[in-house]
Amino acid sequence: MLVCNRLHTSIGVNVSHRINIMVDEPAWRILEKLPRGERSRAINMAVIEWARMRKRRDAAARMNALSDELPAVTMEEVVRWIREDRERDAM
């Protein structure tokens, strides 16, 4: 069960959320060594990094799916494109 409470400043701006979460024993052994304020920062950073990795993984999966639909390109074509691009930039 996830419990979420909003914390507000004196002017009513939403700053953060208090939640209750369950962690397994290895994760708790790491967290219990941290000071209380540091626990929240560590979990926050871990969630943000997890979301970034998931976003990159999903983007890579979409790119791989697209690459399966595209025609194969030979090394000679790639070399030709690079040379054409360099010549165009030299002008």
In this prediction, residue 89 carries a pLDDT of 84
Average pLDDT of the segment spanning 80-84: 95
Number of domains in the chain: 1
75: pLDDT strictly greater than 90:
yes
Q: What is the pTM of this model?
A: 0.58
Read off the pLDDT of residues 7-45 as tens digits, 9 standing for 90 and up: 555 555 667 888 999 999 999 999 999 998 899 999 999
From the centroid of its chain, how far is CA 32?
Answer: 25
Read off the pLDDT of residues 46-62 as tens digits, 9 standing for 90 and up: 999 999 999 999 999 99
Domain that holds residue 23: 3-90
Q: How far is CA 8 from CA 11, 13, 53, 84, in A?
A: 8, 6, 30, 59
Q: What is the C-alpha separation between 1 and 18, in angstroms, rounded?
A: 13
